[in-house]
Structure 1
Amino acid sequence: MSQLAKLNIKTATRAAKLPASEQRKRKLLAALDEQVLVAQAAISGETYEVTRKVWAKNEAGESVLIDRVRKVRPWFFEQDGGWYVQCRYGNKVLPLGDGNAVQVKALKDVTGVLAAFKAAATAGELDEAISTAVERKKPK
């Protein structure tokens, strides 16, 4: 008896990837979840840090896996006696109607704005803004 005859062989097709707009939406939602954690840490007076594994050379010249702290920049800042919250995709600020930021009075209100951004992204309200942000400008 051959080895292949012992296996359960079926015909299968691999599912297609998600459309680019859905991938971008998921990336934005993941970033918004991270920003909620940044805001909660700022409210409690702590700093939010993320560690990631990177390969580096040690003293003996061997490649080893080490933990490195990744910087997470907040999408909110204090100015004019209040706090401004921006929605970003990568390093680009997304336009929000007539402006690009939402003003709140206190730091504790930032998480509510981030939740509203998440709801808007889930509903597809930010899809057009994301697609404009990822467009590359043609060189002159």
Structure 2
Amino acid sequence: MAQLAKLTVKTVQRVSKADPTQQRRAKLIAKIEEQAKVLAAKLNGEVHQVRVQGWVTNEHGEKVSVEKMRQVRAWFFEQDSGWYVQCRYGSKVLDLGKGNAVFVKTLQEVEGVLEAFLVATQQGELDAAVAAALAKRKAI
């Protein structure tokens, strides 16, 4: 205890400078922009993939870091002679008020829906839906 007596010890609560709502918006905006890339790849007949870090055990039994390619799952799917677009936060589908998906007739119209999601997120219209999705996750 003699060593600790020489130090100035205080009780402190760490304060985060970043607003959690702004952090959630930034995360959702990044994912919506990624979905625009998924759509562009789908329109070109390609698959959008991203690099992720992973761990593998090599022949010597050591764990080593490697880069892998991972396919990004689309938020839009074809059903009922059209396309449904869902907005997601993590694995949760956000409630958009009257439902959880937007219906469009063609794949090209999905871009307009993604732009609407982007603008709504920037203006804070989806903050309540994100908070509700997070509340459901914590309740489970």
TM-score (structure 2 length as normaliser): 0.82
Which amino acid counterpart does residue 30 of structure 1 have in structure 2?
A
Which amino acid counterpart does residue 117 of structure 1 have in structure 2?
F
The answer to whether the 8 A contact 2:47-2:71 is kept is no
Provide the C-alpha distance between the structure 2 equivalents of 1:42 and 1:138, rounded to a whole number of angstroms. 36
Provide the C-alpha distance between the structure 1 equivalents of 2:128 and 2:25, rounded to a whole number of angstroms. 11
**Identical columns (%):** 51
Which structure 2 residue ranges, 5 or more long, are not aligned?
1-14
Kindly tell me the number of residue pairs found equivalent between the two proteins.
125
Report the CA distance between 1:61 and its aligned residue. Answer: 2.1
Provide the C-alpha distance between the structure 1 equivalents of 2:37 and 2:85, rounded to a whole number of angstroms. 14
Report the CA distance between 1:16 and its aligned residue. Answer: 4.4
Provide the C-alpha distance between the structure 2 equivalents of 1:53 and 1:130, rounded to a whole number of angstroms. 27
* Structure 1 residues 81-136: Cα deviation after superposition (integer angstroms, max 9, x where no partner): 00000101111111112111111111111111101100000000000111011014
Which amino acid counterpart does residue 129 of structure 1 have in structure 2?
A
Provide the C-alpha distance between the structure 2 equivalents of 1:87 and 1:17, rounded to a whole number of angstroms. 28
Counterpart mapping for 1:1-140 below 5 A:
16-135=16-135, 136=137, 138=139
Which structure 1 residue ranges, 5 or more long, are not aligned?
1-14
Provide the C-alpha distance between the structure 2 equivalents of 1:100 and 1:77, rounded to a whole number of angstroms. 13
TM-score (structure 1 length as normaliser): 0.82
